[in-house]
A and B are shown apart, each in its own frame.
Chain A
C-alpha cells in the first residue's frame, strides 16, 4: 500500500511568485486555508478548515516549520485528528520548487501516512507474515511504550 502522496504541478510563473504564495499567510489563505504561518524554522502554526467527523478530523491542522531554503524548499509537519491530544494524522509536507524555462515546477510530497490500523494491515498482508509476526508485534509494542 502506498503511504505517500506525490504531486507534480507546473506553473507558467516564476519561482519567486510561487514561493510568495507558499510562504505569505494572506496569500496562503487565498488558495489553501486560513493560517498563522511564518517562514521561520521551529514556528508552530495551524490551518483552519471544515471538520470531517467521519474521518476523525476536527478541522484544525497542527504544523511546525521544519526546513526552509528560500525560494526552493519548504518543509512542515501536518498533524490532525479528532482533538489536539488525539492526533491520528501525523504527516510531513514538503514543497520543492524548480525553475524551468517556461515557469516553475512544483513538487508536493505529503508523506508519513500511517496509522496503527495500517500497521496491523502491513503485518497481516505482507508476504511472510507468519514468520515475522512475533518480531513485528514486538516492534509495535515497543512503539506503544
Chain B
C-alpha cells in the first residue's frame, strides 16, 4: 500500500471530509461522488486522488467505472504497531528472564 501523503493534510479540506463521509455509507463511483458537489468532476477527481495518496481510500475498477471505497488497510497502522510490540515485548521479556537466570547462577 502506498501512503505518500499525511492523512492530516488529506482531511484538512472540507470537501475531502465530505467525500469520506459519503463513502462511509457505501462505495461510490467518482461520477456519483461528483453529483454531490458543485465543483467539476475533475476537481472531485483531484480530491479523490489526495485521499487515495493518503491511504484513506482504495479505488477499484469495475468495467468502465472506478469505485472509491474506504480503505481498511489505511486504518490499520495502530493494529500493526500493537501486533509488532506484542511480539517484541514477549521476546524482550524472555531475554530479561534469561538474563536474570544467568545472573542468579553466577552469584
Contacts and interface: CB of A to CB of B under 8 A. Distances in A.
Interface of A: 1-3, 5, 7, 9, 11, 13, 17-18, 21, 27, 30-32, 52, 55, 88-89, 106, 108, 110, 113-118, 120-121, 124, 129, 133, 137, 140-141, 144
Contacts of B6: 116
A89 B77 CA distance: 10
B100 A32 contact: no
Given A17-B100, A55-B84, A124-B24, A5 B78 contact: no
Given A117-B77, A120-B75, A21 B93 contact: no
A124 B89 CA distance: 31
B55 A117 contact: yes
A107 to B, nearest CB: 11
Contact of B97 (A11, A89, A113, A140): A11
A113 B100 contact: no
Given A9-B96, A18-B100, A32-B95, 17 more contacts: A2-B82, A13-B100, A31-B95, A31-B96, A55-B81, A89-B81, A108-B93, A113-B81, A113-B82, A115-B77, A116-B6, A117-B75, A118-B75, A118-B77, A120-B7, A140-B11, A144-B8
